[in-house]
Amino acid sequence: MKIYTKTGDKGQTSLIGARTDKDAPRVEAYGTIDEVNSFIGKAMTELAPDKYADLLEDLEAIQNELFDCGGDLADVRKEPNYKMTEGPVEVLEQRIDQLMEEPPLLERFILPGGSPAAATLHIARTITRRAERQTVTLMRSGEDFPLVVQRYLNRLSDYLFAASRVVNSRAGVPDNEYVRSAKVFKNGGRSKKSVE
């Protein structure tokens, strides 16, 4: 089976219901979501199932939800068939609250790193932030898409931050604090989200 079609050789790609330029903002957004998904997949290969079974379960669900987000962004039909709902956003919020109770109290900003899996999750977190910014650009331009996608990406970046800290904690690897950071989190970062 051939996987190449040659239909994109002139710089255009197919959405669900239309063709558009490969560098269109909508394509940039769902392409970035695909990047997030790839790094989450890499992180999963770095997590031992016996120690991180709960995170692996979360991340597998997230991979499917990210595929739904990308599909929703690609659906430009007059009557689109969107898949994302508020349910996954609420699940992420619950998991963030649970995960933030596990690692040591957080007082200062931390630098990405620690164990390999935590570092990979930090990469996924920063790419998620880029995807979120791109959906905000779409929103401001008046493009139609389910706004729950933007909310989901916002929560996902917080989840990935919390998960990276849990991975380091379970691995016995301390978070790498930003040395010039003042104490910026009240109550160890547990009474409110650690990032916006």
- pLDDT: is 162 or 181 the higher one? 162
Query: Over the stretch 174-192, which tens digit does the pLDDT of each residue have?
Result: 998 888 877 877 665 554 4
- pLDDT: is 194 or 148 the higher one? 148
Residue 15 DSSP label: E
Measured CA to CA, the distance from residue 23 to residue 25 in angstroms comes to 6
User: Residue 43 — φ and ψ, nearest 5°?
Assistant: -60, -40
Q: Determine the pLDDT at residue 187.
A: 60
Q: Determine the pLDDT at residue 19.
A: 81
Q: CATH: 1.20.1200.10, 1.10.150.110, 3.50.50.100, 3.40.50.720. Which one for 21-189?
A: 1.20.1200.10
Query: Over the stretch 5-29, which tens digit does the pLDDT of each residue have?
Result: 776 776 878 777 888 778 788 999 9
Q: Does the pLDDT at position 103 exceed 80?
A: yes
Q: Determine the pLDDT at residue 181.
A: 78
- Average pLDDT over the chain reads 90
Q: Determine the pLDDT at residue 89.
A: 98
Q: Does the pLDDT at position 166 exceed 60?
A: yes
Measured CA to CA, the distance from residue 13 to residue 10 in angstroms comes to 9
- Length of the chain in terms of residues written: 196
**Mean pLDDT (whole number) for 135-146:** 91
Distances (CA, A) of 42 to 60, 93, 128, 167, 188: 12, 23, 15, 14, 29
Q: Determine the pLDDT at residue 156.
A: 98
> In angstroms, how far is CA 180 from the centroid of its own chain?
27
**Mean pLDDT (whole number) for 66-93:** 96
- pLDDT: is 18 or 35 the higher one? 35
Position 157 confidence tier, pLDDT thresholds 50, 70, 90: very high
* Sign (positive or negative) of CA dihedral 126, 130, 132, 133: positive
Cβ–Cβ < 8 Å for 153, 128: yes
CA–CA–CA angle 103, 113, 172 (5° rounding): 40
CB-count exposure of residue 45 (10 Å: 0-12, 13-18, 19+) = exposed
Measured CA to CA, the distance from residue 159 to residue 99 in angstroms comes to 8
Q: Does the pLDDT at position 41 exceed 90?
A: yes
Q: Determine the pLDDT at residue 180.
A: 86
